[in-house]
Structure 1
Amino acid sequence: MSAHRITGAAQVAGIAGRPVAHSLSPIIHNAWLAAGGIDGAYVPFAPADAAGFEALVAAGRAGLIQGLNVTAPFKEQAFALADEATPAARLTASANILTFQDGRVQADSSDGIGLMRGLKDQAPDLKIKGRAVVMLGAGGAARAGAGALVEAGAEVRIVNRSLDRAEALAADLGPSVRVMAADGAFEGAALVINALSVQPAVDFDRITPGTVVMDMTYKPLWTPFLTAARARGLKTVDGLSMLIGQAAPSFEALFRRPPPPLDLRTLLLAHLGEAAT
C-alpha cells in the first residue's frame, strides 16, 4: 500500500452521526485513499443535535468539506436540508450521502444498494420477488432498505414499536408495504431484517425454516439476533456485508472517482478482531 500523503490540496469528506465513534466508514475510506495514493481525508463528525448537523451542512455549502456520509439520527434531516435529491433518496425521504458543490447540496442514498449487495453476497440463492420480507424498525436505514426491496418486487411487512413512524413509512412507499404486529408478520416470510439499533426480542419458533435472517448492525458482527438465528439453522447475513455494499457508491460520490481494489472484509474483520465464519 502506498504512503498516504495529505497536502493543502486534500479533498475532505466524512461521516456525521451521533454516536459515530463506532463507525467503520473512516477505516474503509481512508484505506481506499491510501491504497489509491489519493490526496484526501475522511473524518468523523458527531453533531450534538439537529442544529449542530445543520451547521455542518452549512460548512459543506461554504466549501469546507466536499461530502458527507450520514448515519443515525440525521438521515431524514439530511434529506430535508438538500437542494436536490436522487430518486433513491426521494423514494424514502432519507439520505446517507450528501455532496456539496457551488453552495448546493445533493442528497443520495446507498443504503438500499448496500442491502441488496449484502444479500447477493451472503445469500445468493434468495429470491424475494413476490415474497414477503419482514423489516424490524422504521428508521432511515429501514426506509432505504424497504425502498430497495419494494423495487425488487418484495412485499414488505414493517414491525415497529412506534406505529405512527411505521405507518408513515408504509404511506410513503405504497401498497407493497404494510404495518403488521409481530404475532403474524413472520408467517411465510422469505427474509427477516433487523434495522433496529437495539437488539429485538424475536421468537424464532415463529420463523419458518429456510427463512434468511439479516442484521444491519455490524458491531458486534455476530449479534444476539444472528446468533439465535444460526442456532436454529437459519441462513444469516451480517451487517458488514451491507456496509461494504454501500461503501463503494459512497466513495465515488464523495471523492469523484471509483475506489481502488481492496479486500475490505478481511481488513474490517481484522480491525474488529473477529474471524470470518
Structure 2
Amino acid sequence: MTRPYAEVIGDPIAQSKSPAIHGFWLARLGIDAEYRAHHVAPDALADYLAARRDDPDWRGCNVTMPHKQTVMPLLARIAPPAATIGAVNTVLPGDKAGPSGTNTDASGFLEPLKPDLAETHYYRMARIIGTGGAARAIITALAGHGFTLVVAGRDPGKARALLDELAPKGEHHAIALSHFADPTDFAFDDREGCLDLVINASSLGMAGQPPLPFDWSHAPPGSIAYDIVTTPLDTPFLQGARAKGLRTIDGLSMLIGQAATAFEHFFGQPPPRGHDAELRALLTQ
C-alpha cells in the first residue's frame, strides 16, 4: 500500500537535514506520510519532474543546490514570492498544466528576526556574503524591510546585478568578497537605534567547502551574525562573532522556518512548532 510523500532534491543531497525535520513533524502529528531525500543530477531534473507529475502520492518537493533557478523554466506556474526572488525552493503538484513553484526561504530567513523587525530603527543595514539562490531570497526579504544592503561576492559585478534586479530602489552597495578578509580600523558611528546584520548567505564555511574569509572588525557594535550554513552548525563565522560579544543566529533557524511553511503546503496543516527545542536536539546529535 502506498502513502503520500514529499521529498527534497539536490546534487549532492545526502547531507540534507530536511528528512529528519519533516519526519519529526509527521511523527508528532501522527500523519501517515513520508518525506525523503532524492538525489537529482542537473541533467536529470526534467525527467524527475516528468515522473513525479503523474504520481498521485507525490505532494511536492523542496529544492536545494544547484536547482533553485534551473527548475523554474520546467514549471507551469511560479508563485509571487518565487517570481520576485527569481528562485524556487518548493515545488508543488499544481494542476493539469504541471507542477508549480514557490519560495519559502525568505519567510524562513526572517522568522528569527521578527522581534527585531517589530522594533523601530532610524537605520537598518545588512552585510550579505553570497550571490546564490539563498542570497536572492535574503536580499529580497531585507530590501522589503527597509535595509540598506552591502552584498559581497567573488564577482562584484554579479552582486551589483542582483541588487539592481531585486532591490533597485535603495542606495545599496556591491563589493568584492575579499574586502571583508583583512582587518579594518574604520570607526563606526553611534549605532544606538540601528539594526545591523552580518549574514553568510553562501556555502563558504560548510563542511567540504573553503573557509569564509571575514574579519569581525568590519561588523558594527551590536551587530547580529547570521549564518545559513548547517553543517557544521557552529561555524567559525559564528564563533568569531561570539568572541566579539555579538548575538548569533545559526542555520537551523532558517532551515526550520522555511521547512515549516513547506510542510503546510505538502501535508495541509502547520507543524507542531512547540517542539522546536526537541527537534533541534535531534538535528544536532
Question: Does the TM-score normalized on the shorter chain lie above 0.5?
Answer: yes
How much identity, in percent, do the aligned residues show?
Answer: 35
User: 8 Å contact 1:129–1:154 — kept in the other structure?
Assistant: no
How many angstroms does 1:225 deviate by? 0.4
Match of 1:251 in 2: 263
Does 1:54 find its partner at 2:46?
yes
- TM-score for both structures, normalised by structure 2: 0.84
Query: Conserved in 2, the CA contact under 8 Å of 1:28 and 1:264?
Result: no
Paired residue for 2:137? Answer: 144
| Pairing partner for 2:236 from 224, 248, 264 | 224
Residue of structure 2 in register with 1:44 after alignment:
37
Aligned pairs, number: 264
Distance in 2, Cα, partners of 1:63 & 1:129: 52
Select 2:111's aligned residue among 105, 112, 117. 117
Aligned to 2:191: none
Quick one: distance in 1 between partners of 2:77 and 2:266?
Answer: 16
Corresponding residue for residue 190 of structure 1: 196
- The residue aligned with 1:205 is 217
Alignment of 1:147-186 (within 5 A): 147-173=140-166, 174-176=168-170, 177-181=172-176, 183=179
| Cα distance, 1:118–1:129 mapped onto 2, change above 3 Å | farther
Structure 2 CA distance for aligned equivalents of residues 72 and 92 of structure 1: 15
Provide Cα deviations, 1:94-125, integer angstroms capped at 9, x if missing partner: 0110101334121111111011102237x678
60-69 vs 210-219, which deviates more?
Answer: 60-69
Output one character per residue of 1:13-53: Cα deviation in whole Å (capped at 9) or x when no partner.
Answer: 100112221111101111111222212111101112x2212
SS at match of 1:135: strand
Q: How far off its partner does 1:267 sit?
A: 2.2
Q: 1:114 corresponds to which letter in structure 2?
A: G
**Coordinate RMSD, CA, aligned:** 2.4
Displacement of 1:86: 1.7
Q: Structure 1 residues 55-64 or 150-159, which shifts more?
A: 55-64
Match of 1:74 among 67, 70, 80: 67
In the alignment, does 2:250 pair up with 1:238? Answer: yes
**Deviant stretches of 4+, over 4 Å:** 123-130, 184-189
Quote how far apart the aligned CAs of 1:206 are: 2.0
Tell me the amino acid that sits aligned with residue 230 of structure 1: R
Shift of 1:265: 3.5
Conserved 8 A contact 1:115-1:245: yes
Structure 1's 126 and 216: CA in aligned 2 closer, same or farther, altered over 3 A?
farther
Matches within 5 A, 1:123-134: 130-134=123-127
The residue type paired with residue 39 of structure 2 is: A
Task: Check whether the contact 1:98–1:106 (CA below 8 A) recurs between aligned residues.
Answer: yes
Give 1:149 shift. 0.6
| Unpaired runs of at least 5, structure 2 | 189-194, 206-211
Q: Does 1:63 align with 2:58?
A: no
Relative to structure 1, the CA distance from residue 270 to residue 13 in structure 2 (aligned partners, 3 Å threshold; closer, same or farther) is: closer
Does residue 16 of the first structure (1) align with residue 9 of the second (2)?
A: yes
Residues 18/266 of structure 1: CA separation in 2 closer, same or farther (3 Å cut): same
